[in-house]
């Protein structure tokens, strides 16, 4: 049955693409595939096994296609297939009138196949194959509405940015293969005496893959632009699949090579990259007006938390937060999709307002997701975030205070978003005519809201969360908890006081609103000059070497030779007779004397 986890979504994608697109049932096939994989994931939960077959052999080296079932992979499969199923159901209504609905659901099935492959992979070769397939799938889904230039550009940006990280990832894989002599996770052993610098460099190269997929600085720029895709795609990419793949892979490597391998500069670097990403993304979120981009930068910030935890040797805490975050962030994105759908595809929060009365189910579920993201006590996000803060406080006080600052900013920007969107009065006609969404949208919201509330409790996390380790105390009332709750209170009060009843943003910080100008630096600086430089090189080879010398030179040579012989083809009989006579004399001369 574990092989069906891989085969079913692939079969759905193939059938839809080749046979079912014109029959109008592609969406039902993809949704049925998602439901079946979720059921199989529940059956496989807690199983431990390795299943593989030989794919290719080169001398003594063989490449296997293998599935590794353990607590980490089976728990992650619950997240991927559970959120994936709810996204499929939500999409049935959200994409109902889309002219390319069949292509959309085909892309979803391919994406589920790709992500399932990463989760179940038993070796680096299989991981890298599916890693690239996830990149392809995300490109297709983000660019689903490719008729819009912004969507096509966002898809290309996501694809190319991830290729940068994946190049480093590939180097890291080869280096770890050279160090350990194997590509299979369960067989990796770092030999004694290996240079800490070489091992650290290999781990940082592997981390490059996570920097791309999990959108850490400086490769974070693709994720907010990925909002150009349909909102259910945003929920799938941002909650439980693509962006989570980097954290999952990093923790899988940490388990394979040993936690102690991350104790040097590699772990410190990873932790600081995560911490700085968390802080900068939270600051950017405070000044965004697009509801989806607020959530996108929130995802960046929470991923920074997870990456920081892995670098601080608290990978279990990172995976626990990944588990809880998947449910409430999927809830928030699908909730934003319901709002956008009801407001006739309006995404600016300042053009909404008063939706609490218009959309009570959406508003309540969105509030639950917001509470979990803000880490309100006894919601799922509170328990997982506390473990990360505890790890930061224990290992690195500087990073702890950065994490605490993020804990203030998160409730601030989420309170801002909720107050502007749901409270006050309707600001535009779109908001005035909004109404509650139907059951195909509201039921996934309710299911995710329930998980957003209870997923952090041990009786749920111990069974479902990947690599979950139950703490000695469910809530440890100490310094860290007091700082966390204090940060929550400060952020909520500041957000409510500043934005309740406001018609426009009372705060204007261009640095945050313009995303620290990093996108402009890339687009107008690095990318532009690289493109111009490369274009100049191409122009040199094309115009000077190829056109002028090779093609142009040979053309002129042939033309010159042809011009010489053309003079002999004048049509003058006397000239032909003269030439014939010269030829006869030359023939006699060479025959007699040579």
Tens-digit pLDDT profile for residues 415-463: 999 999 999 888 888 888 889 999 999 999 999 999 999 999 988 999 9
Choose among 306, 130, 124: nearest CA to 211: 306
**CA 228, CA 217: separation in Å to the nearest integer?**
21
pLDDT value for 471: 75
Answer whether residue 283 shows pLDDT above 70.
yes
Residue with tokens 């799922």: 380
Choose among 91, 113, 112: nearest CA to 102: 91
How many Cα neighbours within 13 Å face the side chain of 286? Answer: 26
Q: Which tokens belong to 292?
A: 């989806």
pLDDT value for 40: 95
Choose among 328, 325, 286, 233: nearest CA to 420: 286
Phi, psi of 508, deg, nearest 5 = -135, 110
**CA 68, CA 6: separation in Å to the nearest integer?**
12
Helical H segments across 374-457, by residue range: 380-395, 397-422, 429-432, 439-454
Q: 49: part of which helix (H) or strand (E)?
A: strand 49-58
Q: 63: part of which helix (H) or strand (E)?
A: strand 61-69
Tens-digit pLDDT profile for residues 395-420: 999 999 999 999 999 999 999 999 99
**CA 131, CA 117: separation in Å to the nearest integer?**
8
**CA 31, CA 89: separation in Å to the nearest integer?**
7
**CA 351, CA 344: separation in Å to the nearest integer?**
11
Contact 269, 120 (CB under 8 A): no
pLDDT value for 340: 93
Q: How far is CA 155 from CA 101, 149, 162, 340, in A?
A: 18, 10, 11, 21
What mean pLDDT is reported for the chain?
90
Distance of CA 587 to the CA centre of its chain: 79
Mean pLDDT of 285-310: 94
Choose among 493, 282, 490: nearest CA to 406: 282
Query: Residue 365 class from Cβ within 10 Å (0-12 exposed, 13-18 middle, 19+ buried)?
Result: buried
- Return the ∠ at Cα 316 (arms to 37 and 263), rounded to 5°: 130
Mean pLDDT of 497-525: 89
Q: 199: part of which helix (H) or strand (E)?
A: helix 196-213
Q: How far is CA 379 from CA 281, 385, 450, 471, in A?
A: 23, 10, 10, 16
Contact 44, 74 (CB under 8 A): yes
Please report which confidence band the pLDDT of residue 46 belongs to, taking 50, 70 and 90 as the band edges.
confident
Distance of CA 580 to the CA centre of its chain: 79
* DSSP secondary structure letter of residue 404: H
Tens-digit pLDDT profile for residues 69-110: 999 999 999 999 999 999 999 999 999 988 889 999 999 999
Mean pLDDT of 318-346: 93
pLDDT value for 472: 62
Choose among 221, 117, 204: nearest CA to 159: 221
Contact 128, 170 (CB under 8 A): yes
Answer whether residue 291 shows pLDDT above 70.
yes
Answer whether residue 332 shows pLDDT above 80.
yes
Please report which confidence band the pLDDT of residue 525 belongs to, taking 50, 70 and 90 as the band edges.
confident
Tens-digit pLDDT profile for residues 554-585: 777 787 877 777 766 777 777 778 788 888 88
Please report which confidence band the pLDDT of residue 474 belongs to, taking 50, 70 and 90 as the band edges.
low
**CA 183, CA 56: separation in Å to the nearest integer?**
14
Q: How far is CA 90 from CA 87, 357, 454, in A?
A: 5, 22, 22
- What percentage of the chain reaches a pLDDT higher than 90? 66
Please report which confidence band the pLDDT of residue 240 belongs to, taking 50, 70 and 90 as the band edges.
low
Tens-digit pLDDT profile for residues 132-189: 999 999 999 999 999 999 999 999 999 989 999 999 999 999 999 999 999 999 999 9
Query: Residue 497 class from Cβ within 10 Å (0-12 exposed, 13-18 middle, 19+ buried)?
Result: exposed
Q: What is the largest CA-CA distance in the chain?
A: 116
Contact 194, 56 (CB under 8 A): no
**CA 109, CA 8: separation in Å to the nearest integer?**
9
Q: State the virtual CA torsion across 505, 506, 512, 515 in degrees, nearest 10.
A: 20
- Return the ∠ at Cα 93 (arms to 87 and 94), rounded to 5°: 70
Tens-digit pLDDT profile for residues 333-378: 999 999 999 998 889 999 998 999 999 999 999 999 999 999 999 9
Mean pLDDT of 521-534: 76
Residues in the chain: 594
């Amino acid at each position: 049955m574990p092989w069906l986890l891989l085969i079913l979504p692939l079969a759905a994608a193939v059938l839809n693409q080749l046979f079912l697109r014109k029959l109008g049932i592609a969406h039902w096939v993809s949704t049925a595939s998602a439901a079946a994989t979720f059921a199989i994931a529940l059956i496989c939960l807690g199983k431990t096994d390795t299943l593989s077959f030989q794919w290719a052999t080169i001398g003594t080296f063989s490449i296997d296609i293998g599935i590794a079932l353990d607590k980490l992979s089976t728990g992650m499969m619950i997240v991927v297939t559970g959120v994936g199923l709810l996204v499929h159901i939500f999409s049935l209504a959200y994409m109902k009138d889309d002219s390319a609905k069949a292509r959309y659901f085909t892309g979803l099935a391919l994406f589920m196949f790709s992500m399932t492959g990463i989760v179940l992979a038993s070796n680096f070769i299989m991981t890298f194959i599916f890693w690239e397939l996830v990149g392809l799938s995300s490109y297709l889904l983000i660019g689903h509405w490719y008729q819009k230039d912004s969507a096509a550009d966002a898809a290309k940006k996501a694809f190319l940015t991830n290729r940068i990280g994946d190049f480093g990832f590939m180097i890291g894989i080869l280096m770890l293969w050279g160090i350990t002599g194997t590509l299979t996770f369960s067989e990796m052993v770092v030999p004694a005496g290996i240079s800490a610098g070489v091992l650290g460099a290999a781990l940082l190269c592997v981390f490059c893959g996570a920097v791309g997929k999990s959108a850490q600085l400086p490769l974070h720029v693709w994720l907010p632009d990925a909002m150009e895709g349909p909102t259910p795609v945003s929920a799938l990419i941002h909650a439980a699949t693509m962006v989570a793949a980097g954290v999952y892979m990093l923790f899988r490597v940490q388990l394979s090579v040993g936690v102690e391998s991350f104790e040097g500069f590699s772990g410190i670097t990873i932790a600081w990259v995560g911490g700085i990403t968390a802080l900068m993304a939270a600051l950017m979120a405070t000044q965004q007006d697009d509801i989806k981009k607020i959530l996108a930068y929130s995802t960046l910030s929470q991923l920074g938390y997870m990456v920081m935890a892995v670098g601080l040797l608290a990978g279990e805490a990172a995976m626990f937060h990944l588990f809880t975050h998947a449910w409430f962030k999927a809830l928030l994105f699908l909730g934003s999709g319901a709002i956008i759908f009801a407001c006739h595809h309006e995404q600016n929060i300042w053009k909404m307002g008063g939706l609490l009365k218009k959309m009570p189910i959406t508003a309540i579920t969105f509030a639950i997701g917001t509470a979990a993201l803000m880490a309100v006590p006894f919601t799922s996000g509170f328990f997982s975030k506390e473990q990360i803060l505890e790890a930061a406080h224990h290992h690195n006080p500087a990073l702890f205070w950065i994490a605490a600052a993020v804990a203030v900013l998160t409730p601030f920007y989420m309170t801002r978003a909720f107050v502007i969107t749901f409270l006050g009065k309707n600001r535009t006609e779109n908001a005035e005519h909004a109404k509650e969404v139907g059951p195909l949208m509201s039921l996934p919201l309710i299911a995710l809201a329930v998980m957003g509330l209870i997923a952090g409790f041990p009786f749920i996390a111990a069974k479902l969360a990947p690599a979950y380790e139950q703490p000695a105390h469910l809530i440890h009332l100490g310094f860290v908890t007091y700082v966390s709750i204090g940060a929550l209170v400060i952020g909520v009060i500041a957000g409510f006081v500043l934005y309740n009843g406001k018609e426009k943003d009372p705060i204007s910080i261009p640095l945050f609103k313009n995303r620290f100008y990093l996108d402009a630096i890339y687009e107008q600086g690095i990318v532009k000059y690289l493109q111009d430089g490369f274009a100049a090189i191409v122009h040199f080879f094309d115009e000077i070497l190829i056109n002028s010398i090779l093609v142009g030179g040979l053309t002129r040579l042939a033309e010159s030779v042809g011009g010489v012989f053309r003079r002999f083809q004048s049509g003058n009989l006397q000239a032909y007779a003269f030439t014939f006579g010269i030829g006869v004399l030359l023939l006699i001369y060479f025959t007699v004397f040579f």
